[in-house]
Amino acid sequence: MEAVVITGVGMISPVGTGKENFWKGLIEGQDGIEEITAFDTAPFRSKKGGLVKGFNPKAFIPSLKIRRLDRASQFAIAASRMALEDAGLTIGENIIPERTGIILGSGFCGVVNSEAFHRGQVLRGPGDLNPILFPNTVPNAAASNVAIELGIKGPNSTVVQSFCTAEAAFLFACQQLIAQKADIMVTGGVDELSTILYRGWNELRLTAWDKGEGEKSAPYDLTRNGFIPGEGAGIMILEQRNNALRRKARIYAQVRACTTTGGATQPEKKVAHSIASALKRGGMQTVDFIDGAGNSSPRLDTVEAEGLRLAIPPHVRDIPISSIKSMLGEGIASGGIRLAADLLIMEQGVIPPTINYEYPDPLCSLRIVREEFKTTVRTILHTGISLDGTYMAILLGRTDGVS
């Protein structure tokens, strides 16, 4: 795994688009979550979402093409362009299209089109179907549209794995590099929040709502009662280490380990197992920062905290942990934006806050960061948790010997 390094990032998020805006939003503790006006939330218990605001696709995509691309594809193209530019790469110029791949995690991409197409079927019948919609109902439309737009011809895939969707795509991409199937891999996650998806999360009673304390994303807080659905895209450029060194690329981090454990029963132990295996593989006892998967769900945050305590017993209370989902909300592929954030945290040496953390939950008693602070961050543990039975741990480390 150490042959894989990360040399570029790009993101579209509720707290800002692009590296500078996003970073500023994160360390200022900007709340990207607000009352939804883009669609009617009257039928639902929840009212808020982490929607991307002020996104201008024209800055990234030729105008004529924009209208043929759904929002998820637009996010993916824009973030991928930013990430490649950040890495100093131009496909066809300094990288070979066939040796460049893309594997994205798809957070219900295409569902908007499925809903619209099926609505037509139900309400208007088979005689009047819109053929433009159907091809973009597939979850792989976003990655494919990026490949088409940017000319990526290497390994191409799309992954969904519940709330570990982006982490699973990241692992797949790493392994295509290790198997030497490509020199460069574009990876990450894309989420699109739509009214039908918002309905689904509400129907399944998973979202936060105002029980008197307000509707908020409050990871690890005693008053948390669900997550806030969010959207956006976080894309990374993975590269073979030798390739990056040869072209003197700026290296954000190397992937020290990426592990996965399965099983819905005894989730705390499985979380611990994924983390302990990652630390073991990375040859490490502890880390400088934990990017937590805590998403303000009553159970998930507790499971994560207990898993961390089991995996890193003597050190865990010394390690700062933050969940930026407090500002962004949750999408099943939001691990992409989080990974992008991890690289900036490492580069800038500043740990962003977990906002809305007011009443500590004794079951989540970790060193939760309330205010941003400067420190040296050489290593980061990124956790991914799906209580449906997937647990992932990604260990990132600096390569420039900063200590």
Closer CB to other proteins, residue 138 or residue 222? 138
> Which amino acid does the sequence have at 108?
F
Give the C-alpha separation, 251 to 211, whole Å. Answer: 45
Element (H, E) at 111: helix 111-124
Q: Per-residue DSSP letters for 81-103?
A: HHHHHHTT--BTTTB-GGGEEEE
Rounded least distance, CB 355 to other proteins, Å:
28
Closer CB to other proteins, residue 261 or residue 322? 261
Closer CB to other proteins, residue 51 or residue 332? 332
Closer CB to other proteins, residue 178 or residue 363? 178
Rounded least distance, CB 24 to other proteins, Å:
33
Q: Per-residue DSSP letters for 44-58?
A: SS--EEB---S--GG
Rounded least distance, CB 109 to other proteins, Å:
9
Closer CB to other proteins, residue 118 or residue 250? 118
Give the C-alpha separation, 116 to 73, whole Å. Answer: 17
**CA nearest 349: which of 400, 285, 284, 273?**
400
Give the C-alpha separation, 81 to 77, whole Å. Answer: 6
Rounded least distance, CB 195 to other proteins, Å:
12
Rounded least distance, CB 212 to other proteins, Å:
24
Element (H, E) at 196: helix 195-203
CB 224 within 8 A of CB 326: no
Give the pair of three-digit tokens for residue 288: 């400088």
Closer CB to other proteins, residue 198 or residue 220? 198
Closer CB to other proteins, residue 26 or residue 95? 95
Backbone angles phi, psi at 192, to 5 degrees: -125, 125
Closer CB to other proteins, residue 49 or residue 139? 139
CA distance to 207, 284, 335, 397, per residue, from 47 (Å)? 10, 43, 23, 39
Q: Per-residue DSSP letters for 238-306?
A: EEEHHHHHHTT----EEEEEEEEEE-SSSHHHHHHHHHHHHHHHHT-S--SEEE----S-HHHHHHHHH
Rounded least distance, CB 232 to other proteins, Å:
19
Rounded least distance, CB 51 to other proteins, Å:
21
